[in-house]
Structure 1
Amino acid sequence: MRVIIREAMVVDPRSPYNGQVVDIFVEDGKIAKIGKGLQLREAETAAKTAPEITEIKTEGLHVSPGWVDIFVQFHDPGGERKETLKTGTDAAAAGGFTEVLAVPNTDPAVQNKGQVEYIAKSSKDLKARVHPIGAVSRNIEGKELAEMYDMHASGAKAFGDGWKPLQSAGLLLKALQYVKGIDGTVIQVPDDTTIGTHGLMHEGIVSTRMGLPGKSVLAEEVMVDRDLKLLEYTQSSIHFTGVTSEKSIEAIHAQKNATCSVTPHHLYFCDEDLEGYDTNLKVNPPLRDRKTMMALRQAVIDGKIDIITSHHLPQDWDHKVCEFEYAKNGAIGLESAFGVVWSLLEGDISLGRWVEMASIKPREVFHLEKAELKEHAPANLTLFVPGETYEFKESDIKSKSRNSPFTGKQLKGRVKGTILHDQLNLL
């Protein structure tokens, strides 16, 4: 594969080309040249048998290191009717993500060496790389530790029980001690499930008005407080994903070895949006009140949020087109993530801040291979036009499922494609 990207603005705070409009020549999976007005002569750059050069030139084009989503569900194996590794990585590439971390909530759960290797190898030639999150507990039951060392040796980049947060303090303590020895990270959705067990949405004025059982933000704050105490004791590493509490964010931000992520849908919607009983907005953690939603946006602006993650959770038609009470939690979000965040926060954050949250910090926290915009580096790039406004349509969805709350929304910031080593994925 030979590609030349013409007149693209570089967005990479670590690159000497940051903020410059340059041409980028990619050859054999690497960034061969970067410069202004690159002149490439076929006879000088390759043999006669070499493939032709694909030229990419789009008005307002920007290029950054490839983005990473650190918490997605692909349902493979066991739930392929909702999402496969192929359709999931197609959705990731459509959203500008070249790598994702996949939760272990499959059937069977990702809890041993063989299952980690299956996911890693199966995604090798797909549009995005899938890094498995290894289950902390056997069968994700929260009772006994799974084979964490073997999973780490096979390519697991983080450990957690995915959508089933670890309720046992003793088990989490052991997991934190274990990952410290292998330079790993525990990833946790902070939720004490004994609080608001039957809650369908955020506990507040709106839930009372709608007559639905609520789930208090206290369930999150209690869990964050407990886990931070365990973290302080072990001096290990933990990442809280899907945080929705201002108090939680402040506590996490003050702890050296803790990081956190928020989702685009928690930034865009609040509990008032549920008054139409849209099941695509039934998620866990639930959408909070308007004041909290605005506080989450401000936390992103203030630099207190480390990572943006979609919490991409495909659900089939039967589990979403039904009464709100019976609908399953979850929304897809890979394809719309950048457009949602940029629509909300353009002017409040820079593109460099977005790249920090979507590419640089995820790689640091989960020890992924660096993606850099420099000559001779492996090609791992996202191409996008931040100034393009568009309506997000069902045709933009590459996921096998359609449970997006953003269909029909006007967004700003369009992904144009990705380059991952020797793969060019243009939209």
Structure 2
Amino acid sequence: MKVLIKQATIVSSSSPFNGKTKDILIVDGIISAIEDTISEKADTIIEQQGLHTSIGWMDSFAHFCDPGFEYRETLESGANAAAAGGFTDVIVIPNTNPVTHNKSQVEYIVQKSKTLPVTIHPAGAITKNAEGKELAEMYDMRAAGAIAFTDGINSIQSPGILLKALQYTLAFDGVIIQIPDDKSINAGGLVSEGIVSTQLGLPGKPAIAEELMIARDIELVKYTNSKIHFTGVSTAKGIELIANAKAAGLNVTCSVTPYHLFFSDEDLVTYDTNLKVNPPLRTKADVAALQQALVNGVIDTIASHHIPQNQDNKICEFEYAKNGMIGLESLFGAVISTGSISIEKFVEMITIRSRGIFDLSIPEIKVGAVAKLTLFDPIVEAVFSEPQLRSKSKNAAFIGKKLKGKVIGIINRKSSHIN
């Protein structure tokens, strides 16, 4: 099987071809030639105006709902959504039924994903059933292929449990992923507490619920010298705490979602349930702080927080709607459209830095390397529409928004997926 990519501008800071426009020939999943012009016949030819390529993008927090909630998403549909969004690799969270909290559940995901166009990396639950009460079999899950550990959408509330988990992962240099959310502080909050929550008449969740947990967990990392990755960070103060922890040399990394970079709590005036997320949308000042943190490097990567919900969980009153939106297909356009980050910086974060957090090998664009590429156009603008979705669920707040940038497809080893 031969794939020929014609006249693609290479975006890869580690490649000698960075910034150059080349033809790339891929034979049976291996890059066999990179030249100014390649005339060899191929089974598939990819040639488009504005074509760019980089090493494959990686998402670090997505819910594929399989097993147990296949009516919302499956590993197959999730992989198709990821490929449509430009991702060759995705970490999936363990909030399935049964929860991915033992060796057999990790093996289920690993085995079932082998034939999919996207490489799926399972994250094992920190606690049994992701209930936050008793540690799960982390060592066995690691041996079976778990790339990281998290209770996913359920933050670890007990400092004692998290302390044990951090100590346990030291044995194999593991990473804990945590959404910072202290549920003991106004657990009934639906949106961020502030002027907008008052105007809308909705109960608010204060920013301090996030910030206290970040501060607490940083102290636990300082005590254990373990690794923690905060995901979904949404407040200026939270970013400040993480920046200080990094400056102190602690093993702390973080990611933000595309929707916390794009939307603010002021967008909730329409009561769009697709904008009901956790952590909630914050103020414009918080959004500006997150965007600045992209520029100065405090934020390590961007995570989709792709959380599919069926229509019954979204087409209802705001109070009863479930948290979450899908985001794999729209992540690139949403982030680039904020104007807060260059294409080169975006690619570095979503490829090299995202893999570095989890100690994964970095793909290369060179002759003889395994092909793991994302193809995109960073300039074109278009209105994001529902037909672009490959997810089984349609809870996408970006539908109808004009976004900059278009994903053309991916090549992942011997598999290609072109939009």
TM-score (normalised: structure 2): 0.97
Find the aligned partners of 2:120 and 2:186 in 1 and give their Cα distance: 33
- 1:248 Cα offset (Å): 1.4
Asked if the contact 2:277/2:323 (under 8 Å) is kept, the reply is yes
Per-residue CA shift, 1:402-422, capped at 9, x if unaligned? Answer: 000000110110000000000
Find the aligned partners of 2:238 and 2:31 in 1 and give their Cα distance: 41
- 1:377 Cα offset (Å): 1.1
Paired residue type of 2:142: H
State whether structure 2 residue 299 is matched by structure 1 residue 330: no
State whether structure 2 residue 374 is matched by structure 1 residue 382: yes
State whether structure 2 residue 57 is matched by structure 1 residue 67: yes
- 1:368 Cα offset (Å): 2.1
Per-residue CA shift, 1:86-124, capped at 9, x if unaligned? Answer: 110100000000110001000000001110010111111
Find the aligned partners of 2:235 and 2:53 in 1 and give their Cα distance: 33
Find the aligned partners of 1:127 and 1:282 in 2 and give their Cα distance: 30
- Aligned counterpart for 1:409 among listed residues 401, 404, 412: 401
Find the aligned partners of 2:224 and 2:312 in 1 and give their Cα distance: 44
Find the aligned partners of 2:130 and 2:411 in 1 and give their Cα distance: 35
Asked if the contact 2:232/2:279 (under 8 Å) is kept, the reply is yes
Q: Look up the match of 1:11.
A: 11
State whether structure 2 residue 87 is matched by structure 1 residue 97: yes
- Report which stretch shifted further, 390-399 or 355-364: 355-364
Per-residue CA shift, 1:164-202, capped at 9, x if unaligned? Answer: 011111111111111121121000000111012100000
Q: Look up the match of 2:261.
A: 267
Asked if the contact 2:336/2:342 (under 8 Å) is kept, the reply is no
Find the aligned partners of 2:227 and 2:414 in 1 and give their Cα distance: 34
Find the aligned partners of 1:382 and 1:253 in 2 and give their Cα distance: 30
Find the aligned partners of 1:163 and 1:111 in 2 and give their Cα distance: 14
Paired residue type of 2:233: V
Find the aligned partners of 1:177 and 1:362 in 2 and give their Cα distance: 23
Find the aligned partners of 2:333 and 2:304 in 1 and give their Cα distance: 12
State whether structure 2 residue 146 is matched by structure 1 residue 156: yes
Q: Look up the match of 1:341.
A: 335
Asked if the contact 1:29/1:422 (under 8 Å) is kept, the reply is yes
State whether structure 2 residue 78 is matched by structure 1 residue 88: yes
Matches within 5 A, 1:133-212: 133-212=123-202
Find the aligned partners of 1:67 and 1:418 in 2 and give their Cα distance: 9
- Report which stretch shifted further, 75-84 or 352-361: 352-361
State whether structure 2 residue 386 is matched by structure 1 residue 359: no
- 1:375 Cα offset (Å): 1.4
Structure 1 gap ranges (5+):
43-51
Superposed CA RMSD in Å reads 1.0
Q: Look up the match of 1:45.
A: none
SS at 1:296 equivalent: helix
Find the aligned partners of 1:33 and 1:286 in 2 and give their Cα distance: 47
Identity %: 54
Per-residue CA shift, 1:64-93, capped at 9, x if unaligned? Answer: 010011000011000000001111010000
Paired residue type of 1:38: I
Find the aligned partners of 2:341 and 2:309 in 1 and give their Cα distance: 32
Asked if the contact 2:166/2:226 (under 8 Å) is kept, the reply is yes
SS at 1:325 equivalent: helix
Q: Look up the match of 1:110.
A: 100
Q: Look up the match of 1:46.
A: none
- 1:253 Cα offset (Å): 2.4
Find the aligned partners of 2:83 and 2:355 in 1 and give their Cα distance: 17
Q: Look up the match of 1:281.
A: 275
Find the aligned partners of 1:328 and 1:99 in 2 and give their Cα distance: 27
Asked if the contact 2:130/2:154 (under 8 Å) is kept, the reply is yes
SS at 2:266 equivalent: helix
- 1:289 Cα offset (Å): 1.0
Structure 2 gap ranges (5+):
none
Paired residue type of 1:263: T
Paired residue type of 1:219: A
Asked if the contact 1:253/1:259 (under 8 Å) is kept, the reply is no
Paired residue type of 1:25: L
Find the aligned partners of 1:408 and 1:127 in 2 and give their Cα distance: 28
Paired residue type of 1:87: S
